[in-house]
């Protein structure tokens, strides 16, 4: 089911059908702050009010023309200006395929560096999300080149990839801030651990490389076992609670988010917004069967789905 949903998340035919449907739009709002920047700003104020940090993500990936990539870059500059105007404690997450990586690596590097220069001038930070494995190598290289010029940029490592440990070592040597996650795409067993227990073990292994590095990293997970392993390791190694942050997605495990803040940990909420929410929404459904069941029940309320 996970593979099917991830496969469907790339469907250009299904997207308009789901996105026009009123029920899916309502269900998607659990995971997406809204379609306008104002919605994301409102969500970020709310998050900051609860003593949490935010990362704003303008949804969009795989743009197919240069004008679309340039528009996305302009939008990101405007987001940073709005963050500054609103005095939000927030940075930005973006995807390189939104900045034209499918079209030209040079164009993508140029647009990214324009955004990173703007963010660095404002003392802010750009997180380059990690997409499917077709983009891993290029993302690592682009992130390293940008980091060699500017402080305000970092990227993401996915613990399901066999190559992740070597990438972590390379990027740490380049002084790169990293977000550690498990990975959200459909990857074959030739390049990614198929079993959850191996993904989790690699996650813990990489967390133990990140935390003592002296660089400020993000531990992105809703998994209580990963969170506990991080807390235990930090305590054992005397690593302060302000030396790293936990990160979670908007609308997921808010109970855990609040608990971590009460315990004195730093917690950043990833706030996606925008009209292009279909692939993001499908990845969230794929992560948890209960989400899919909830969605199916909302679509077919009078059916016997999930009847006791
Ligand atoms: C801040 C942040 C940024 C991310 N950035 C990227 C990225 O750049 N690239 C990438 O490939 N992936 C990214 N991810 C997604 C990540 O790779 C995982 O797919 C996702 O976080 C689920 O893994 P988990 O660590 O929560 O553990 P899991 O073992 O998948 O889940 C543990 C528990 O968390 C809860 N949970 C997890 N997902 C959901 C959900 N969708 N709905 C409801 N409950 C859920 C459930 O209670 C579940 O039992 C990001 C995740 C976070 C939190």
Local confidence pLDDT in tens for the 308 residues of the chain: 888 888 888 888 888 888 888 888 988 999 999 999 999 999 999 999 998 999 999 999 889 999 999 999 999 999 999 999 999 999 999 999 999 999 999 999 999 999 999 999 999 999 999 999 999 999 999 999 999 999 999 999 999 999 999 999 999 999 999 999 999 999 999 999 999 999 999 999 999 999 999 999 999 999 999 999 999 999 999 999 999 999 999 999 999 999 999 999 999 999 999 999 999 999 999 998 788 888 888 877 665 444 33
199, 160 Cβ separation under 8 angstroms: yes
Rounded Cα gap, residues 302 and 298, in angstroms: 9
Nearest CA to 103 among 61, 134, 62, 138?
62
Q: Choosing from 129, 167, 200, 276, which is the catalytic residue?
A: 129
Rounded Cα gap, residues 15 and 273, in angstroms: 16
Residue 130 Cβ contacting ligand 1 at under 6 Å: yes
Residue 248 Cβ contacting ligand 1 at under 6 Å: yes
Q: Is 65 a catalytic residue?
A: no
pTM score of the predicted model: 0.95
227, 246 Cβ separation under 8 angstroms: yes
Between strands 126-128 and 90-94, the pairing is parallel
Which residue from 221, 284, 285 has its CB within 8 A of the most atoms of ligand 1, so it is best to mutate?
221
Residue 99 has what DSSP assignment? G
Q: Which positions ≥6 away from 215 have C-beta within 8 Å?
A: 172, 175, 176, 177, 178
Residue 157 Cβ contacting ligand 1 at under 6 Å: no
Coil, strand or helix: which one is 178?
strand
Measured over the CA atoms of residue 136, residue 138, residue 143 and residue 144, the dihedral's sign is positive
Between strands 53-58 and 90-94, the pairing is parallel
Q: Is 179 a catalytic residue?
A: yes
The rounded radius of gyration (Å) of the Cα atoms in the chain is 19
Which residue from 287, 290, 291, 294 has its CB within 8 A of the most atoms of ligand 1, so it is best to mutate?
287
Identify the residue whose C-alpha is closest to ligand 1 atom 53.
Answer: 248
Which residue from 249, 250, 255, 291 has its CB within 8 A of the most atoms of ligand 1, so it is best to mutate?
249
Q: Which atom of ligand 1 is nearest to the CA of 127?
A: 8
Residue 222 Cβ contacting ligand 1 at under 6 Å: yes
271, 56 Cβ separation under 8 angstroms: yes
């Amino acid at each position: 089911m996970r593979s099917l949903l991830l496969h469907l998340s790339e469907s250009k035919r299904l997207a308009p059908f789901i996105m026009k449907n009123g029920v899916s739009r309502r269900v998607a709002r659990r995971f997406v702050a809204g379609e306008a920047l104002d919605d994301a700003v409102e969500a970020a104020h709310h998050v900051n009010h609860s003593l949490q940090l935010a990362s704003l993500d303008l949804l969009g990936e795989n743009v197919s023309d240069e004008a679309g990539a340039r528009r996305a870059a302009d939008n990101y500059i405007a987001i940073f200006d709005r963050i500054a105007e609103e005095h939000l404690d927030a940075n930005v997450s973006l995807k390189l395929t939104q900045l034209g990586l499918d079209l030209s690596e040079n164009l993508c590097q140029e647009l990214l560096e324009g955004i990173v220069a703007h963010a660095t001038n404002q003392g802010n930070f750009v997180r380059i999300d990690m997409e499917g494995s077709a983009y891993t190598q290029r993302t690592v290289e682009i992130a390293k080149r940008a980091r060699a010029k500017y402080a305000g940029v970092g990227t993401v490592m996915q613990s399901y990839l066999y190559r992740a440990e070597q990438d972590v070592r390379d990027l740490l040597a380049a002084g790169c801030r990293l977000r550690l996650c498990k990975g959200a795409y459909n990857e074959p067993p030739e390049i990614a651990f198929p079993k959850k227990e191996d993904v989790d073990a690699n996650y813990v292994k990489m967390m133990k490389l990140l935390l003592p590095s002296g660089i400020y990293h993000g531990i992105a997970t809703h998994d209580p076992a990963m969170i506990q392993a991080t807390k235990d390791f930090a305590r054992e190694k005397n690593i302060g609670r302000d030396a790293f942050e936990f990160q979670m997605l908007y609308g997921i495990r808010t109970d855990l988010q609040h608990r971590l803040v009460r315990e004195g940990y730093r917690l950043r909420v990833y706030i996606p917004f925008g009209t292009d929410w279909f692939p993001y929404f499908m990845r969230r459904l794929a992560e948890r069967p209960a989400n899919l069941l909830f969605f199916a029940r909302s679509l077919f309320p009078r059916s016997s789905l999930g009847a006791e």
